[in-house]
Structure 1
Amino acid sequence: MTETTNKTAAENTPAPVSKEFQLEDSLHKAEDFFNKNKNSIIIALLVVVVVVGGTFAYSKFIKGPNETKAQNMVFHAQQYFERDSFRLALNGDGNYEGFLQVIDKYGSTKTGQLAKYYAGVSYVKLGEFQKGADLLTAFNGGDQVVQAMAYGLAGDAYMELNQTDKGIEYYKKAGHHSDNELTAPTYLFRAGLALEKANKTADAVAIYKEIQSKYPQTAEGREIEKYLARLGEVRSN
């Protein structure tokens, strides 16, 4: 059941981005990113729900049973999430409880933390961006890649709220949280676009050059020269 729970976040994570921001016109849409990297994200999410033991008594008599209860509770919410029934995933259906109830009862468990991630994505999908951002920024998964994803999705939510400075902040957090080619160049690129939107050209150039230097073989790295060129940064031969 835990494995089924983990698969769904990777398949349904993408958050919408406003037309004004125009990320949908780039090669870096959330749908493409998560679909292309689904297997890596599933592995990362499997790590998130591993129970890290404290003392033997606490793990056996409190933490362990609570983790099991949380996993049992989250199963049906995950099924609704998979079917894009986000309100039922959040609130339950009257017979089974949703992510919000899992968070309320078992928010301190690993599964409870993962429920925050699911719930945050659900709110963003429903267009309730502030609630989504609040949960995604409260998420503490313990895994570098998944945490970076949560920060990046929070950045998307803040951009939808026209809170560009916060969007930039969380895109940078996402890009710098985990030095890998899966998430870092994607969210640094979004930070660059957001900085351009905020007319912070010099900062955007710095971010683009960071991508160019650190991740030249990624999709973002291969395309970055044209973004630098439109800001007046042309590489001399």
Structure 2
Amino acid sequence: MATYNKRGYKAPKPEVEENEVELQQPVEETFEGHSTTADVFNTLDQGASKTEEWVAKNQKIIFGGLAAVALVVIGYLAYSKFYEAPQEEEAASEMFQAESYLTQAVNAQQSQDSLYNLALNGGEGKYGFLAIIDKYSGTKSGNLAHYFAATAYLNTGKYKEAVQHFEDFKTDDEVLKASALGATGDAFVQLGKLEDGLKFYVDAARVSDNDVFTPRFLFKAGQLAASLKKKEDALKYYNEIKEKYSTSQEGNTIDAYIAEAE
């Protein structure tokens, strides 16, 4: 049947489903009638305001702390550049002559004591090791001067002084450390403190696995242990030389010492 458009007639709008309406509206969770999104932003605003207030009230402390840190850093850099570095250079220059005396003393056939004394006390307008230790304490040269001074004292029969300076010497170098510990053992043996000497020989041998120093101090430890009637310890040190360092100087004759200790 034909339909006619009546004047003034408007076609009804199509109904929109409930789900479509919901999609067209902004989604905002609510809790007890309050917008949770708004609450989050309000909280953030309040937190930011409190932070700004705290910074404003404490800015002098904050900037003062930063300035203090900056001064410490600048001070350290200035100390290293303008004091520490020149001190190191000056100490090394001063010690050159003392080292020269020590080298001459070690290689000399006679009149060694006078050269060792020059190495310790200085000569030709240059400091000796003792003055370098005192004047340049804290420098690398000042530390190394302890080792050289101890060596000079050991070779002039002043064993207590040698022990003191060897103990004051600090190093991470394995060869120097082993040498210092072994020489300390020598000094204790000369002082009649054989148990102390044995301990330092063993410590020197254990610093590193060195084909020269390790068998040398194991051999000294073995000999000293044997003299102290510590047969098992002596054999232990001798057998370690035989097993691990048979090609060393000590290893060449170790069988005779093992036989003697058994």
TM-score, reference length from structure 1: 0.71
Moved more, 123-132 or 71-80: 71-80
- Give 1 or 2 for the bigger CA radius of gyration: 2
Per-residue deviation at 1:60? 2.3
Which residue of the partner structure matches residue 81 of structure 2?
60
Per-residue deviation at 1:58? 4.8
Output the amino acid matched with 2:94: M
Match of residue 92, structure 2, among 71, 83, 97? 71
Output the amino acid matched with 1:64: A
Structure 2: gaps (5+ residues): 1-75, 106-114
1:58 to 1:174, Cα distance in 2 relative to 1, 3 A = farther
1:205 to 1:58, Cα distance in 2 relative to 1, 3 A = farther
CA distance in 2, matches of 1:231, 1:159: 20
Which residue of the partner structure matches residue 19 of structure 2?
none
CA distance in 2, matches of 1:107, 1:204: 41
Work out whether residues 226 and 261 of structure 2, in 8 Å CA contact, stay in contact via their aligned partners in 1.
Answer: no
| Higher RCO (C-alpha under 8 Å, 6+ residues apart) | 1
Structure 1: gaps (5+ residues): 1-54, 233-237
Which residue of the partner structure matches residue 221 of structure 1?
251
- Report the secondary structure of 2:130's partner residue: helix
- Report the secondary structure of 1:222's partner residue: coil
Which residue of the partner structure matches residue 210 of structure 1?
240
1:148-192 residue CA offsets vs partner (Å, 9 max, x unmatched): 011111111111111101111111111110211021110111011
Which residue of the partner structure matches residue 201 of structure 1?
231
Output the amino acid matched with 1:180: N
Per-residue deviation at 1:113? 1.7
Per-residue deviation at 1:107? 3.0
Work out whether residues 155 and 171 of structure 1, in 8 Å CA contact, stay in contact via their aligned partners in 2.
Answer: yes
Which residue of the partner structure matches residue 122 of structure 2?
92
CA distance in 2, matches of 1:106, 1:83: 24
CA distance in 1, matches of 2:167, 2:157: 17
Work out whether residues 110 and 141 of structure 1, in 8 Å CA contact, stay in contact via their aligned partners in 2.
Answer: no
CA distance in 1, matches of 2:217, 2:176: 13
Per-residue deviation at 1:224? 1.2
How high is the sequence identity, in percent, across the aligned residues?
Answer: 37
Which residue of the partner structure matches residue 17 of structure 1?
none
CA distance in 1, matches of 2:172, 2:77: 21
After TM superposition, list the pairs within 5 Å mapping 1:110-189 onto structure 2: 110-189=140-219
Output the amino acid matched with 1:188: L
TM-score, reference length from structure 2: 0.64
1:22-74 residue CA offsets vs partner (Å, 9 max, x unmatched): xxxxxxxxxxxxxxxxxxxxxxxxxxxxxxxxx75554233322211110111
1:191-231 residue CA offsets vs partner (Å, 9 max, x unmatched): 11111111111111111112122212212122211111111
Per-residue deviation at 1:94? 7.3
